[in-house]
């Protein structure tokens, strides 16, 4: 049974950022981790993605893609959608009388 840890996007970002800083090539100081975002795809390995750093020439994209695959096996994003709005009040509802 494969149980993944559910995390908020901000918490997962902290883990991704810390690990990417540890693994990225020492010569690169420009590539950054992006905030992971929720995706809904049938049959996907995980319910989230993150943008892969591109074009630095130091191999950061390959390092990040490997790390991303590892983290997607371990973590799921919590659905942090806003709670539903309350329906509008009907005329006269909730008004105070004097």
**48, part of any domain:** yes
Query: Dihedral sign, CA of 69, 35, 57, 19?
Result: negative
pTM, rounded to two decimals? 0.74
How many independent structural domains does the chain possess? 1
* pLDDT value of position 74: 96
* pLDDT value of position 82: 53
**13, part of any domain:** yes
**17, part of any domain:** yes
60-97 b/e with 16+ CB inside 10 Å = b? beebbeebbeebbeebbbeeeeeeeeeeeeeeeeeeee
**92, part of any domain:** no
**97, part of any domain:** no
Mean pLDDT of 61-76: 95
**64, part of any domain:** yes
The parent domain of residue 25 ranges over 5-77
């Amino acid at each position: 049974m494969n149980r993944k840890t559910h995390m908020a996007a901000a918490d997962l970002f902290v883990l991704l950022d810390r690990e990417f800083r540890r693994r990225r090539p020492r010569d690169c100081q420009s590539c950054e981790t992006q905030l992971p975002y929720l995706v809904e795809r049938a049959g996907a390995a995980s319910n989230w993605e993150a943008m892969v750093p591109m074009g630095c020439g130091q191999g950061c994209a390959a390092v990040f893609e490997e790390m991303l695959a590892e983290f997607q096996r371990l973590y799921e994003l919590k659905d942090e959608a806003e709670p539903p709005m309350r329906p509008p009040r009907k005329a006269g509802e909730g008004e105070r009388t004097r």
